[in-house]
Homo-oligomer: A and B are copies of this chain.
Amino acid sequence: MIENSLINTSLRNWKEQNKRLLTILESLTDEQFEREISFGKNTGKYLLGHLAAINHNIIVLFGLGKNPQPDLNTIFLLNPDKAIAHNYTVTNVKEILGASIQSLDEKLKVLTEADWLDRHTNISVEEFQMQPHRNKINVLINRTLHLAYHLGQLSLLK
């Protein structure tokens, strides 16, 4: 019953939410991404950078390589919108996000079923014995929900 397995279902949902994100990336103008999703809240640009930073961190969390742009964490994850001066334009951030989705897609292909059910790099062997659900597939599911949460916000820019 391949279609119903946790790993296949979760990967299918991850890809589906990213497809929706790519549709938003293609259908909105740079000017629309400059706007706040609601008065006084994050800009679309910040959210795109935020999602790119999250994707880069998944690479590290899954032991698949180094973070290619750790400065994104400082600008778009650890600090609120507009707090850190930077030179990224909306065009830059869109490109980085699109590339991060594609790169992650490639990297995830090497993971076996055993890898997916094994711990991520941010939990110790001892902790994992106590909390065996804290594996890579669980991270991907949480990141998928996180993406859906921000898709709900990005959709307001239309």
Contact = CB atoms under 8 A, between A and B. Distances in A.
A6 to B, nearest CB: 4
Number of copies: 2
Interface residues of A, number: 31
Main secondary structure of the interface of A (DSSP, over half): helix
Nearest to A117: B4
Given A9-B141, A145-B17, A148-B148, A156 B4 contact: no
A106 interface: no
A86 interface: no
Nearest to A6: B6
A32 interface: no
A92 interface: no
Interface string A125-141: 00000001101011001
Interface stretch (A36-44, A53-61, A72-80, A97-105): A36-44
A13 interface: yes
A117 B156 CA distance: 35
A133 B9 contact: yes
B132 A4 contact: yes
A145 B4 contact: no
A6 B9 CA distance: 8
15 contacts: A1-B132, A3-B132, A4-B6, A4-B117, A4-B132, A4-B133, A6-B9, A9-B137, A9-B138, A12-B133, A38-B38, A149-B152, A149-B155, A152-B153, A153-B156
